[in-house]
Structures are given as C-alpha cells and as structure tokens.
C-alpha cells in the first residue's frame, strides 16, 4: 500500500505528461527540419501501382499550426487545472469542489419549495401530498438502494413499513437515525454461553420467545443461558431501543429465521451500519424524508 500513498506516482504521472508534450513538440520540429532524399522531380522514389509516386511536399501550414495550438493549449491547461500529479493548478479547481458547488446551487434553487414545510410537524408533512411526493423522490435516491423501492428491506436491512423499530419510531428518533446514522453491534457470545450444544439450546429458547417452532426440551435447557443476552435484550427478550437491541419476541427476524440463523448470530455476532446523511442532505430534506419514513408505517396503520 505504501506505493499508492507515496509521492512516487504523482511524480511519475507528471513526468509522463510533460515528456509526452515535449515529444510531440520535438516530433513537429523534427518533421519540419528533416529533408528527405528526393529525385529531380521532387519524388522520394517510392512508386505504387506502376505510376503512383510519393511526393516530398511540406505539410500544409494550417495543419502545422493546429499541432502548435494543441501543444500550447495542453501546456496552458496543465498550468491552470490539475493534471501534473498532485498539482492543483493556478485556478485551484477540483472535481469535488465542482460537485459541491453544483449541489449547493441546486439546494438554493429548491430552498423555497422546502421552506413551506419547515414550520409543519413531521406528522403534518406526512399527510401533505406534495411533501410526500418529494419525500418519495428523496427516499428513492438515497435510501432505496438498501431498503428497497417499497421500503420493506431485506435480510439485514430493516423493513420501514411494519412499525417495528430498532432505535425507536418517533419522528425525532427517525430524524436522528437519518442524520447521524447507526452502527449496530451484536458481539459473538458463544464463549459466554458455553458449548456448541448450549448455543443450540439457547437458539431454541430464543425461538420459543416468539412462539416460533422449536424444541421445547432444548428451549428449557437454554433458558438459563439467556442470562448472557439479557444485558442488552432484557430478561423478557423484548430488546432495548436505547441500545439498538432487537426485540426477540415479535417473530420479526432481521438477520434470518430459524435455529441455524440464531446460532450463527450467537457464534459470529454481527455489525450493521446505517450511513449518516447529514453531509449529503440538507436539514429541510431530512425533515421531509423523516416525515415520509414515519408515514410509511403510521399512515398505513391509520387507514
């Protein structure tokens, strides 16, 4: 990795660029100075198809000047813009800066549209057709890649339409999740539980909490082992939203259902991340997106 973080590649790229431009200039100069040996009739002596002779005429001036202009333009461009390794150029232009400027311009243009919803509560925004249309576009562009276009999620990705919330489903909590992101960490617990057989018993006890199909004998043996999980999930298994600990009693399985899936979680643990959006979206956009996500489950239940 040191090769990619050192200054070598910057110097290498800059050198190749400069040498290429100088080589083009040298080739142009040499082609104008070199004299080919010709016969008295100004031909090089090469003949094709019996009577097609190669002449030794100079390049047209306009063609030569196009080459000169190209070389001058390349030198001026490299002086003004990035191109010589790490050099930023005299104008200080960057693709990141250009992108940020365009985003800021777009945000300024749509600010009046969002302003009308700023004073409304998320609950009120969630019932406004125009706001919901905007919220849906924001969701499709920023959230659907993980949660799906229908917001129902997938294995390891929460369903946002069912009212089951890991960190809380109030507008404030949803806004907090969107703004700051979340990192869920279920540590490997096999060492604390015991043997592989103990892990299997625990898995059956966890299944019993939601009345899912399970081995009742193993579940009874696994109940004492649940003490290792109770610190986060609670003795009743209903979870803890402050910690992001899942409710194990509701028959909703975020990371997979069944004995084997639960055993894998106990043995290996799991780390999930919801990326923060505060640097990507404006406060007004997050306000509308919060209302849209809140409405996915609450408005559906109200109907």
Residue 60 lies in a domain: yes
Residue 135 lies in a domain: yes
User: Same domain, yes or no, for 279 and 226?
Assistant: no
Residue 112 lies in a domain: yes
Residue 53 lies in a domain: yes
Residue 233 lies in a domain: yes
The sign one gets for the Cα dihedral 21, 25, 27, 28 is positive
User: Same domain, yes or no, for 133 and 161?
Assistant: yes
Average pLDDT along the chain: 90
Q: Does the pLDDT at position 300 exceed 70? A: no
Q: Which domain covers residue 10, as residue numbers?
A: 2-80
User: Same domain, yes or no, for 70 and 195?
Assistant: no
User: Same domain, yes or no, for 194 and 264?
Assistant: yes
User: Same domain, yes or no, for 23 and 54?
Assistant: yes
Q: Does the pLDDT at position 39 exceed 80? A: no
User: Same domain, yes or no, for 63 and 135?
Assistant: no
Residue 90 lies in a domain: no
pLDDT tens column, 151-206: 999 999 999 999 899 999 999 999 999 999 999 999 999 999 999 999 999 999 99
User: Same domain, yes or no, for 155 and 118?
Assistant: yes
Distance between CA atoms of residues 25 and 28, nearest Å = 5
The residue among 22, 50, 80 that closes a domain is 80
Distance between CA atoms of residues 8 and 42, nearest Å = 50
The residue among 49, 80, 111 that closes a domain is 80
The C-alpha R_g of the chain, in whole angstroms, comes to: 34
Q: Enter the pTM of the model.
A: 0.74
Distance between CA atoms of residues 126 and 298, nearest Å = 9
Q: Does the pLDDT at position 79 exceed 80? A: yes
Question: Which of residues 59 and 110 earns the better pLDDT score?
Answer: 110
Indicate the number of domains in the chain. 3
Please tell me whether residue 231 adopts helix, strand or coil conformation. Answer: helix
Per-residue CA distances from 89 to 9, 77, 227 (Å): 17, 9, 63
> In this predicted structure, what is the pLDDT of residue 303?
44
DSSP bridge partners of 185: 271
User: Same domain, yes or no, for 235 and 213?
Assistant: yes
Residue 64 lies in a domain: yes
User: Same domain, yes or no, for 242 and 286?
Assistant: no
Residue 86 lies in a domain: no
Strands 52-55 vs 182-186: parallel, antiparallel or unpaired: unpaired
User: Same domain, yes or no, for 270 and 281?
Assistant: no
pLDDT tens column, 203-232: 999 999 999 999 999 999 999 999 999 999
User: Same domain, yes or no, for 105 and 41?
Assistant: no
Buried b (16+ CB within 10 A) or exposed e, 234-262: beebebebeebbbbbbeeebbbebebeeb
CATH of the domain at 144: 1.10.760.10
Q: DSSP string spanning 163-206?
A: S--SS--SHHHHHHHHHH-EEEEE---HHHH-SHHHHHHHHHHH
User: Same domain, yes or no, for 65 and 9?
Assistant: yes
């Amino acid at each position: 990795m040191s090769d990619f973080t050192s200054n070598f590649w910057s110097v290498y790229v800059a050198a190749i660029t400069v040498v290429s431009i100088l080589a083009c200039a040298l080739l142009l100069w040499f082609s104008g100075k070199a004299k080919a040996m010709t016969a008295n009739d100004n031909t090089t002596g090469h003949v094709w198809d019996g009577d097609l002779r190669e002449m030794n005429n100079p390049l047209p001036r306009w063609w030569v000047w196009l080459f000169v202009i190209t070389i001058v333009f390349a030198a001026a461009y490299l002086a003004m813009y990035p191109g010589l390794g790490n050099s930023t150029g005299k104008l200080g232009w960057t693709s990141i800066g250009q992108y940020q400027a365009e985003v800021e311009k777009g945000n300024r243009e749509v600010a009046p549209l969002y302003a009308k919803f700023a004073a409304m509560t998320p609950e009120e925004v969630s019932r406004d057709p125009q706001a919901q249309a905007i919220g849906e576009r924001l969701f499709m562009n920023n959230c659907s890649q993980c949660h799906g276009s229908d917001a129902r999620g997938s294995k390891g990705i929460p369903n946002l339409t069912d009212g089951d919330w890991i960190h809380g489903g109030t507008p404030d909590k949803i806004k907090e999740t969107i703004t700051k992101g979340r990192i869920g960490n279920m540590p490997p617990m096999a060492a604390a539980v015991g043997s592989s057989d103990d892990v299997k018993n625990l898995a059956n006890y966890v299944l019993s909490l939601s009345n899912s199909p399970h081995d009742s004998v193993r579940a009874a043996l696994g109940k004492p082992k649940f003490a290792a999980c109770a610190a986060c999930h609670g003795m009743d298994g209903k979870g803890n939203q402050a910690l992001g600990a899942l409710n194990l009693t509701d028959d909703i399985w975020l990371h997979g259902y069944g004995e084997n899936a639960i055993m894998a979680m106990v043995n290996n643990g799991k780390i999930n991340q919801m990326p923060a959006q505060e640097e990507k979206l404006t406060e007004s956009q997050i306000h509308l997106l919060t209302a849209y996500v809140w409405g996915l489950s609450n408005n559906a239940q109200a109907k």
